[in-house]
């Protein structure tokens, strides 16, 4: 069967149209012969994301960005991306915009939500996220450091200005004089050290003898220490503690009024009795001195003693007044 020229022309035109359509979509980053799923995500700022940028899943490239367009008057941008993977991507997965390195551009990383089993369908809108790049992190870290460096430079400038004001010509001259005097002082100190070395060298024998005497005294002190250690000081201390405990018990008994000494210190009646007895003894001695015949009687011829007549205290006081 002979194919007519018109059929050949029609087939050629149709193939050209199909090839043109395929090339058009291929140049836009779409492949018509592969089963891709299209997802969308919206960002406030894409930060230099370009079409055909890679889309990764756990670091593996699974797709690419196919389109970027404005979606509202606030300037928000909608990203269209084609993804081909057998890994299940849920509807609650997150599409994070990040920068993989210093030289590469921005990319999108899909972070799947493994807890959700509801898979995303073709044309699904995913939640957007932003991960700061290395330059942004370094800039944030360097910003406080820059402030500190600027403050340090200002402080150093003020310090240098203060030094310039302090170290005027007169101060510099005084500093040179002080350094010169310090040099002379060090020279004198060197001479003194040389003289001291001479004194030490001249009295080396005496110093050696003193050191030997010190060694002997140290040995004697060690012997005394050994003697004290062998003297059973611990037992003596224990005996002393027992004695002090007994003395403490005696003092406690005295303070509590036990025993003769305690009653004497604590019992007021006993004290008054002793005081009265002492007073009566004193009066008795005084009466013996004044009237010895009342207590001692001598008779050579056997004469009877005159009986004692007690004189009242008021009469005695009246006679004493007379």
- Strands (DSSP E) contained in 44-142 are 54-57, 60-70, 77-83, 94-98, 107-111, 124-130
Query: Does the structure show a pLDDT above 60 at 320?
Result: no
Query: What gap in Å lies between CA 106 and CA 96, rounded to an integer?
Result: 10
- Least confident window among 71-75, 83-87, 134-138, 273-277: 134-138
User: What's the confidence (pLDDT) of residue 17?
Assistant: 87
pLDDT tens digits, 278-316: 888 888 888 887 877 676 655 555 555 555 455 555 554
250-277 mean pLDDT: 74
The model's pTM is 0.38
Pairing of the two strands 37-43 and 77-83: antiparallel
Cα separations in angstroms, 153 against 24, 141, 157, 158, 160: 60, 19, 6, 9, 10
pLDDT of amino acid 41 = 93
- Identify the top-confidence range among 214-218, 247-251, 257-261: 214-218
Give me the chain's average pLDDT, please: 78
pLDDT confidence bin for 42, thresholds 50/70/90: very high
Reply yes or no on whether the pLDDT at 50 is more than 90.
no
Q: What are the tens digits of pLDDT across the range 1-33?
A: 566 777 778 888 888 888 887 777 666 555 555
What tokens does 52 get?
């055909």
Site of tokens 């350094």: 179
- Paired residues of 39 in beta bridges: 81, 124
Distance CA 95, CA 41 (A): 7
Average pLDDT over every residue of 134-161 = 74
- Cβ contacts of residue 261 below 8 Å, gap of 6+? 254
pLDDT band per the 50, 70, 90 thresholds, residue 136: low
Q: How confident is the model at residue 78 (pLDDT cuts 50, 70, 90)?
A: very high
Q: What is the mean pLDDT of residues 207-221?
A: 85
Q: Are 250 and 261 in contact (CB under 8 A)?
A: no
Alpha helices, DSSP H, located in 117-203? 134-166, 169-202
* Helix 259-266, helix 268-290: angle, nearest 10: 90
Name which of 105, 86, 88, 85 is nearest 97 in CA terms: 105
Question: What is the structure's pLDDT at 31?
Answer: 58
- pLDDT tens string 148-205: 888 888 888 877 777 666 666 777 788 888 888 888 888 888 888 888 888 888 788 8
Task: Report the 10 Å Cβ neighbour count for 55.
Answer: 24
Return the DSSP state at 90.
Answer: B
- Give the three-state DSSP class for 69: strand
Other CB atoms closer than 10 Å to residue 76's CB: what's the count? 14
């Amino acid at each position: 069967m002979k194919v007519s020229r018109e059929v050949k022309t029609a087939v050629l035109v149709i193939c050209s149209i199909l090839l043109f359509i395929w090339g058009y979509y291929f140049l836009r980053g779409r492949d018509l012969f592969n089963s891709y799923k299209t997802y969308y995500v919206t960002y406030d700022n894409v930060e230099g994301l370009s079409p055909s940028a890679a889309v990764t899943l756990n670091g593996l490239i699974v797709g690419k960005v196919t389109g970027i367009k404005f979606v509202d008057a606030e300037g928000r941008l909608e990203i269209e991306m084609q993804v081909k993977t057998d890994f299940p991507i849920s509807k609650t997965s997150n599409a994070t915009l990040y920068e993989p390195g210093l030289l590469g551009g921005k990319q999108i990383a899909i972070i799947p939500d493994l807890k959700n089993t509801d898979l995303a369908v073709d044309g699904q809108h995913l939640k957007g996220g932003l991960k700061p790049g290395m330059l942004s992190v370094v800039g944030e870290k360097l910003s406080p450091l820059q402030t500190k460096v600027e403050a340090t430079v200002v402080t150093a400038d003020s310090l240098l200005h203060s030094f310039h004001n302090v170290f005027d010509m007169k101060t510099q001259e005084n500093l040179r004089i002080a350094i010169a005097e310090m040099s002379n002082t060090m020279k004198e100190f060197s001479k003194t050290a040389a003289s001291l070395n001479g004194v030490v060298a001249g009295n080396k024998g005496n110093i050696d003898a003193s050191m030997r005497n010190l060694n002997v005294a140290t040995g004697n002190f060690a012997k005394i220490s050994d003697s004290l250690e062998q003297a059973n000081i611990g037992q003596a201390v224990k005996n002393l503690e027992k004695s002090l405990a007994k003395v403490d018990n005696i003092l406690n008994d005295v303070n509590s009024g036990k025993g003769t000494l305690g009653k004497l210190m604590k019992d007021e009646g006993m004290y008054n009795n002793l005081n009265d007895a002492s007073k009566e003894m004193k009066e008795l001695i005084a009466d013996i001195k004044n009237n010895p015949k009342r207590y001692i009687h001598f008779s050579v011829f056997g004469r009877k003693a005159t009986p004692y007549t007690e004189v009242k205290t008021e009469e005695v006081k009246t006679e004493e007044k007379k």
